[in-house]
Amino acid sequence: MAPDVKPLDVLRALIARERDRFVTRDNNLFNTAFSDLVRYRRFLERIEDRYRQVGEEFVAGSEAFMAQLRANASGQMRAEQMADLDAREALGLALQLEIESFYLFAKILLDEAARAIEFYFGPVPKMALDSHDDLTKRIGMYARHHQLDLPAGMGRLAVQLSSEVSDFRDQQIAHHKNPRTIRGISFNEQGVTRMILSPLYPKDSDRQAETRALDELLADIDTYLLSIVALLSANAERSRLKVEAKPRR
């Protein structure tokens, strides 16, 4: 995605341009359906901003804490170091909150996008797009039924986000079932934080999981939103919505 392209602006421009093509009822319905994508994308932006700020505090505090430990020859933590440890734990919890919130709302955004596409082009029997997972499985058949030209890479990116957002949200957050899971925060040399989920007393079947950097994940979501804009722009004549009749001259 080009650095000067702002997906929210592109999406808003699509809504403003498209809605006026339709009769009043469909104009308003279209605006409502697609404005939800703007709403949840703005949620993600705010969450990612808080995540970045808390992450910077967490990394700075962690590095200062480790430096103090190395400088403490006695090896025993002083009272101020115990306070620093408590503060670091609180920041780690705040990071987990932002990370899990991002995945929850990202899943909602993807599901809303699938339903908005179905609203725009119309339902297909036995091919409901009730969720992003539905769209991922049925996008090819759905496109063929409505004779839609799919933007290059849209299907691949939908599958990727299904794995990295939908599946992670379902298996590691919303429907997590392993009571032995420990959640912690790690960061790399660049100061990018991630949540690590590791099983306590691991079995051979257990697997460690970790989140992606939220700015990277948001960039992929933005690319996907731009592909939806391209889908609608390239197939506007296929919309099931009623177009406003042009005035007679």
- Residues recorded for the chain: 249
Each residue of 109-124: pLDDT tens digit?
999 999 999 999 999 9
Determine whether 87 is exposed, middle or buried from the number of CB atoms within 10 Å of its CB (0-12, 13-18, 19+).
middle
pLDDT over 90 (residue 44)? yes
Three-class secondary structure of residue 202 per DSSP: coil
Each residue of 76-105: pLDDT tens digit?
656 666 666 778 889 999 999 999 999 999
Task: Say what the pLDDT of residue 88 is.
Answer: 84
The domain ranges of the chain are 7-175+214-236
Task: Say what the pLDDT of residue 74 is.
Answer: 61
Strand order in the sheet with 209-210: 181-187, 193-199, 209-210
Tokens of 103: 């995945």
Region 192-201 average pLDDT = 95
Region 183-197 average pLDDT = 94
What pTM value is reported for the model? 0.90
Region 72-78 average pLDDT = 62
Tokens of 222: 């933005």
Tokens of 58: 């967490």
Mean pLDDT of the chain: 91
Residue (of 144, 143, 140, 170) closest to 156 by Cα position: 140
pLDDT over 60 (residue 134)? yes
Task: Say what the pLDDT of residue 86 is.
Answer: 79
Task: Say what the pLDDT of residue 61 is.
Answer: 87
Q: What are phi and psi of 194, to 5 degrees?
A: -140, 155
